[in-house]
Amino acid sequence: MPTPLARILIVDDEPAIRTVLSAQLRRNYDVAAVANGAEAISKLHADRFDLVLTDMRMPNVDGLELLGYVRQHFPEVPVIVLTAHGTVDSAVEAIKLGAHDFITKPFDERELAQVIAKAMGHARAARQAVHADAQGRFEIIGRTPGMKQVFSLIEKVADSPTTVLIQGESGTGKELVARALHEQSGRADKPFIQVNCGAIPENLFESELFGYERGAFTGAVTSKPGRFELADGGSMMLDEVRELPRDMQVKLLRVLQEGTFERVGGLDLKSVDVRVVAATNVDLAQEVSDERFREDLYYRLNVILIQIPPLRERLDDIPLLVEHFLRKFNERLGRSIRGVGPEGLAALMAHAWPGNVRELENVIERAVLLAEGDEIGISELSHVGGAAQMGSESATIVSDFEELDLKEYVRMHTVQIERARIQRALEAEDGNVTRAAKRLGISRKSLQIKMKEYGLRDPAP
């Protein structure tokens, strides 16, 4: 889908100026032109604009008054003022009041183009900065307490050589965190090498990680560097690290401790400087207890632990993620879906999300593809568990949505939705907290905390 042109509103009481400006700017922008400030205000409320180009002296509402109105009601829209040579002092006053820049008449076409492009760039950067701060950090969507803790740890440890262990269920975004650690470090201009330990056949692990020399085995007609050599100076993510065979765990431990290894079939000791970030979707400490993972390697990997919360424990992030995925798939699929309706949102908030953010992404992609109107409704989400569960519950709370924006809706109803899910789980398990916690996919302690928070009595153990 082609990117829409930026929109400029021209405001000038001289028809000739409006005509000339419109002709020049229509080559690169979508342009509208009005004769005075009052018309401009009406136009701004009726349509979306990315920049206002206004004359200073106009009847009724002049340029300064229009500037003040735009700054108050449309602060994200930059204003450029047009002024005659004799009124430069007024233009300087406009700059002090918040105008981005001014152009003197008669204006130079190239100068005008440069000033507009600069103003557009500044406004775009400001919008992106505000949006990024509101949505999350490090290109990771989230602003719930659990995600803020993840961001804080990334910020604190990114620029150190310390090994990091990322734990989180499948689909929670472990790779995003690993990439953020790399990109926020002094190694950002060096390689980031990702190794999926669960996808490498056991007999190929050593040659994949450490490389091999010519003649090391049948078919080794040339020497080949391994992943550690390729990552030298940078970072390596060992995803699904629990899948490492026991003998490879010993070799990995040596690299972490000494920074050295040999290629398969080689005699020379090679040294590398690689920051290792390991990731797992299981409790690695339990793997150690069950003697499926070496204890010494576990402690070497688990210097800093970053635990990514599952989506069911960060429900307030769902609207942010939905908005992000809608933008992504609108662009990819050539659609213009403007949002998810209140019943659909209620279903998304009620779902347990065993596949976490990856599952939500797939759900939104499917819904964008199948949506018949410009809004995703409950029918496009019928395969989501929460859609079937909501029933009259959603009907009770959705009616309130008409008077609320999305954020307010989420703030008011997240508690009711989560409380209802907990009640259903407890009823299904005859009040057994341990089994209900397992059904919900959270720990018994977490469930007890939630029960206390929501005024649900904890049955006697």
- pLDDT at residue 442 greater than cutoff 90: no
Confidence band (pLDDT; 50, 70, 90) for 401?
very low
**Cis link prior to 106 (omega < 30° from 0)?**
yes
Looking at residue 451, its amino acid is: M
415 vs 425, higher pLDDT: 425
Instruction: Note the pLDDT of residue 410.
Output: 46
Cα→Cα distances 343→213, 314, 367, Å: 61, 19, 14
339 vs 91, higher pLDDT: 339
Instruction: Note the pLDDT of residue 239.
Output: 94
Query: What would the mean pLDDT of 344-373 be, rounded to a whole number?
Result: 89
Instruction: Note the pLDDT of residue 400.
Output: 45
Query: What would the mean pLDDT of 53-76 be, rounded to a whole number?
Result: 85
- pLDDT tens digits, one per residue of 78-127: 999 988 755 566 777 788 788 888 888 777 888 888 888 888 887 776 66
- pLDDT at residue 392 greater than cutoff 70: no
- pLDDT at residue 377 greater than cutoff 90: no
- pLDDT tens digits, one per residue of 263-303: 888 888 888 999 999 999 998 999 999 989 999 999 999 99
Token code pair at residue 323 = 């908005």
- pLDDT at residue 454 greater than cutoff 90: no
**Straight-line distance from the first to the last Cα atom of the chain, in angstroms, rounded to the nearest whole number:** 59
Confidence band (pLDDT; 50, 70, 90) for 461?
very low
Provide CATH 3.40.50.2300 ranges for the chain: 7-133
- pLDDT at residue 173 greater than cutoff 90: yes
Asked if 54 and 102 count as a contact pair (C-beta separation under 8 A), the reply is no
Q: How far apart are CA 16 and CA 19, in angstroms?
A: 5
Q: How far apart are CA 371 and CA 377, in angstroms?
A: 8
CATH topology classification for 7-133: Rossmann fold (3.40.50)
Lowest mean pLDDT across 43-47, 49-53, 440-444, 450-454: 440-444
Instruction: Note the pLDDT of residue 407.
Output: 45
Looking at residue 399, its amino acid is: S
Long-range contacts of 115-119 (CB under 8 A, 24+ apart): 115/80, 116/8, 116/25, 116/29, 116/51, 116/53, 116/80, 119/51, 119/78, 119/80
- pLDDT at residue 402 greater than cutoff 80: no
Looking at residue 384, its amino acid is: V
Query: What would the mean pLDDT of 363-370 be, rounded to a whole number?
Result: 91
Beta strands 79-84 and 30-34, pairing class = unpaired
Provide CATH 3.40.50.300 ranges for the chain: 140-309
Confidence band (pLDDT; 50, 70, 90) for 425?
confident
Instruction: Note the pLDDT of residue 435.
Output: 85
For residue 31, how many other CB atoms are within 10 A of its CB?
A: 21
Looking at residue 374, its amino acid is: D
What would the CATH number be for the domain defined by 312-453? 1.10.8.60
Instruction: Note the pLDDT of residue 32.
Output: 93
Superfamily for the 140-309 domain: P-loop containing nucleotide triphosphate hydrolases (3.40.50.300)
Confidence band (pLDDT; 50, 70, 90) for 449?
confident
